[in-house]
């Protein structure tokens, strides 16, 4: 089937999409956007978090066909040209990026949190990032990055 | 595989009648996992996310009609006062990303014994509104779950909404998991006080082939709770309640916990949640007086 979807502000089209295919596969393999990572494919790790019509979701749990006519914003769509989004910059500055696999999902989740709650408490940060697993950092520097981005 | 994309409820029901094997797809938090892992290859997917009739809730005559497509996030932010235990259970579902997509309708459709909302639906006497091109009918939550991941819908029926009474007294939900976030219940429990009918609902999850009510425990509470002269509950009442709840379970040993542990944990959850709910009730009674 054909899927039409607006990705990072641009109208995109994909053909020969399998009906059981996920939005994550569509983004990575058909539209050439590898920012969202494919890890667990069961919504456990959050590495594929993207905005769907402004709401953070696991792209692996959205059927590609469900995105028809909708707006998707991926981690690639957060930066303004060459200028990183403040959340992205904060992750770099705080050393919150190690292997980097979980980073795109964490950045989108943190970006959404700070849009909703400009000055979150530590509890709110932990809750907002509860769906994103990181196996390297121990999370402390990620928390630092979000706290710094909130300032 | 076909991808069916009805624009409204009439189209959705027509599509389900024509393709009874089609798998309804809302938040996708269960169905997509099965597809991603090649555990399921249905002939058709029936995307319900465009059906506006499923996406809202209303309150009428003290009953919330909760559309099957309302996300957990919306339930938590919009219905926390009317449906406190359902909101509590929703808060324990997955992660923010999962709660943004997942729905009570989907929880019912999957009918997993571990579904987080089931004990609340049972304890509060919820009814499930299902529809087909043949018409609409209501199924009591008690009659909804018929086996492991099995419910009582006909192949051409879709879950349209859940009807729950607006809470008139404290309710509680509690769940045991191996960590705080992103975890399936080892066991779960809900209790809902109903002072008007001098009753309390109690139900367990993840501790039997289906979610189920703890009928003996409910009868015990109806007789023992001092509704007319509210006073702190004796420990012995809470403990006996816990024992009766545990005795309603028929758990299995599995990777998440042993049957013995589940029975023990249920007794603890029941004792604590009853204590919290009754304490809240006493507080609200005093405030009113």
Spell out the per-residue pLDDT of chain A, length 151, in tens. 999 999 999 999 999 999 999 999 999 999 999 999 999 999 999 999 999 999 999 999 999 999 999 999 999 999 999 999 999 999 999 999 999 999 999 999 999 999 999 999 999 999 999 999 999 999 999 999 999 999 8
Q: What is the pLDDT of residue B228?
A: 86
- C-alpha A51/C-alpha B101 separation (Å) is 12
- Residues A3/A65, Cβ–Cβ less than 8 Å: yes
Give the position of tokens 């405030």: B287
Phi and psi, residue B249, nearest 5°? -80, 150
Q: Which residues, other chains included, contact B18 with Cβ-Cβ below 8 Å and sequence gap of 6+?
A: none
Phi and psi, residue B203, nearest 5°? -150, 150
- Which residues of chain B approach chain A closer than 8 Å at the C-beta? 1-3, 5, 25, 27-29, 32-33, 35-37, 41, 44-45, 47, 49, 73, 94-98, 100-101, 180-182
Q: What is the pLDDT of residue A67?
A: 98
Strands A49-52 and B63-67: unpaired
Quote the DSSP letter at residue A66.
G
Per-residue CA distances from B18 to A27, A89, B52, B93 (Å): 32, 52, 21, 33
Residue A35 β-bridge partners = none
Q: Rounded to a whole number, what is the distance in Å from the CA of A65 to chain B's nearest CA?
A: 7
Q: Do A131 and B25 touch (CB under 8 A)?
A: no
The pLDDT of residue B175 is above 60: yes
- C-alpha B161/C-alpha B57 separation (Å) is 9
C-alpha A122: how far from its chain's center?
21
The pLDDT of residue B179 is above 90: no
Predicted ipTM? 0.96
Per-residue CA distances from A39 to A60, A80, B36, B70, B212 (Å): 9, 27, 11, 28, 35
Nearest CA in chain B to A25: B36
Find chain A residues with C-beta within 8 A of B49's C-beta. 66
Whether pTM > 0.90 for this model: the answer is: yes
Per-residue CA distances from A20 to A7, A23, B200 (Å): 20, 10, 44
pLDDT digits (tens, 9 = 90+) for B190-246: 999 999 999 999 999 999 999 999 999 999 999 999 998 889 999 999 999 999 999
Q: Do A19 and B3 touch (CB under 8 A)?
A: yes
Q: Measured between CB atoms, does A19 come within 8 Å of chain B?
A: yes
B137 is written with which tokens?
């009918």
CA angle A130, B270, B107 (to 5 degrees): 50
- Residues B203/B273, Cβ–Cβ less than 8 Å: no
Q: Rounded to a whole number, what is the distance in Å from the CA of B185 to chain A's nearest CA?
A: 15
Instruction: Report which of B9, B16, B15, B14 is spatially closest to residue B53, judged by C-alpha positions.
Output: B9
Give the position of tokens 């904060």: A90
What pLDDT band is residue B287 in, cutting at 50, 70 and 90? low
Find chain A residues with C-beta within 8 A of B181's C-beta. 127, 130-131
Q: What is the pLDDT of residue B288?
A: 58
A76 is written with which tokens?
């690639």
Find chain A residues with C-beta within 8 A of B35's C-beta. 20, 22, 63
Percentage of residues in chain B having pLDDT higher than 70: 99
What pLDDT band is residue B285 in, cutting at 50, 70 and 90? confident
Q: Do B45 and A41 touch (CB under 8 A)?
A: no
Grouping H, G, I as helix, E, B as strand and the rest as coil, residue B133 is coil
Find the distance separating the first CA and the last CA of chain B, reported in whole Å: 62
Q: Do B36 and A49 touch (CB under 8 A)?
A: no
Strands B23-25 and B44-47: parallel
What domains appear along chain A, each with residue ranges and CATH number? 3-76 (3.10.20.30), 86-149 (1.10.150.120)
The pLDDT of residue B114 is above 80: yes
pLDDT digits (tens, 9 = 90+) for B124-150: 999 999 999 999 999 999 999 999 999
Q: Do B96 and A56 touch (CB under 8 A)?
A: yes
What pLDDT band is residue B116 in, cutting at 50, 70 and 90? very high
Give the position of tokens 């702190």: B232
Q: Measured between CB atoms, does A36 come within 8 Å of chain B?
A: no
Average pLDDT over residues B5-29: 98
The overall average pLDDT reported for chain B is 96
- C-alpha B168/C-alpha B148 separation (Å) is 32
- C-alpha B192/C-alpha B174 separation (Å) is 12
Least confident range from B61-70, B92-101, B173-182, B219-228: namely B173-182
Residue A80 β-bridge partners = A83
The pLDDT of residue B26 is above 80: yes
Grouping H, G, I as helix, E, B as strand and the rest as coil, residue B263 is helix
Give the helix/strand (H/E) hosting B145. strand B145-147
What pLDDT band is residue B37 in, cutting at 50, 70 and 90? very high
Strands A71-73 and A55-58: unpaired
- C-alpha B177/C-alpha B172 separation (Å) is 17
The pLDDT of residue B289 is above 70: no
């Amino acid at each position: 089937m054909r899927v039409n979807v607006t990705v990072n502000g641009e109208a995109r089209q994909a053909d020969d999409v399998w009906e059981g295919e996920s939005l994550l596969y569509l983004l990575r393999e058909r539209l050439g956007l590898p920012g969202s990572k494919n890890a667990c494919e069961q919504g456990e790790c959050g590495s594929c978090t993207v905005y769907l019509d402004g709401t953070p979701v696991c792209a692996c749990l959205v059927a590609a066909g469900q995105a028809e006519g909708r707006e998707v914003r991926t981690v690639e769509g957060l930066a303004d040209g060459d200028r990183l989004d403040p959340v992205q910059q904060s992750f770099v500055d705080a050393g919150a990026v190690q292997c980097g696999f979980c980073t795109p999902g964490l950045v989108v989740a943190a970006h959404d949190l700070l849009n909703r709650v400009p000055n979150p408490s530590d509890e709110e940060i932990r809750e907002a990032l509860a769906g994103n697993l990181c196996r390297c950092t121990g999370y402390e520097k990620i928390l630092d990055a979000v706290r710094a981005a909130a300032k | 595989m076909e991808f069916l994309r009805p624009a409204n409820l009439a189209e959705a029901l027509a599509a389900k009648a024509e393709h009874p094997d089609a798998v309804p797809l809302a938040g996708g938090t269960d169905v997509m996992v099965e597809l991603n892992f090649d555990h399921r290859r249905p002939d058709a997917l029936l995307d319900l996310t465009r059906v506006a009739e499923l996406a809202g809730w209303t309150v009428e005559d003290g009953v919330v009609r909760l559309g099957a497509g309302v996300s957990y996030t919306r339930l938590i932010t919009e219905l926390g006062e009317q449906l406190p235990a359902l909101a509590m259970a929703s808060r324990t579902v997955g992660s923010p990303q999962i709660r943004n997509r997942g729905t009570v309708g989907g929880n019912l459709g999957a009918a997993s014994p571990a579904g987080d909302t089931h004990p609340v639906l049972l304890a509060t006497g919820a009814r499930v509104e299902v529809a087909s091109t043949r018409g609409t009918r209501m199924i009591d939550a008690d009659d909804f779950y018929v086996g492991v991941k099995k419910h009582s819908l006909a192949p051409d029926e879709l879950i349209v909404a859940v009807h729950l009474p607006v809470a008139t007294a404290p309710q509680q939900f509690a769940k045991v998991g191996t960590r705080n976030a992103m975890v399936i219940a080892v066991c779960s429990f809900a209790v809902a006080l109903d002072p008007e009918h001098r009753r309390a609902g109690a139900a367990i999850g993840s501790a039997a082939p289906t979610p189920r009510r703890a009928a003996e425990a409910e009868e015990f509470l109806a007789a023992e709770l001092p509704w007319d002269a509210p006073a702190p509950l004796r420990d012995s009442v809470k403990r006996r309640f816990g024992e009766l709840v545990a005795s309603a379970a028929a758990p299995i040993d599995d990777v998440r916990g042993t049957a013995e542990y589940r029975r023990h944990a249920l007794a603890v959850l029941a004792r604590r949640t009853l204590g919290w709910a009754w304490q809240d009730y006493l507080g609200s009674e005093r405030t009113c007086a």
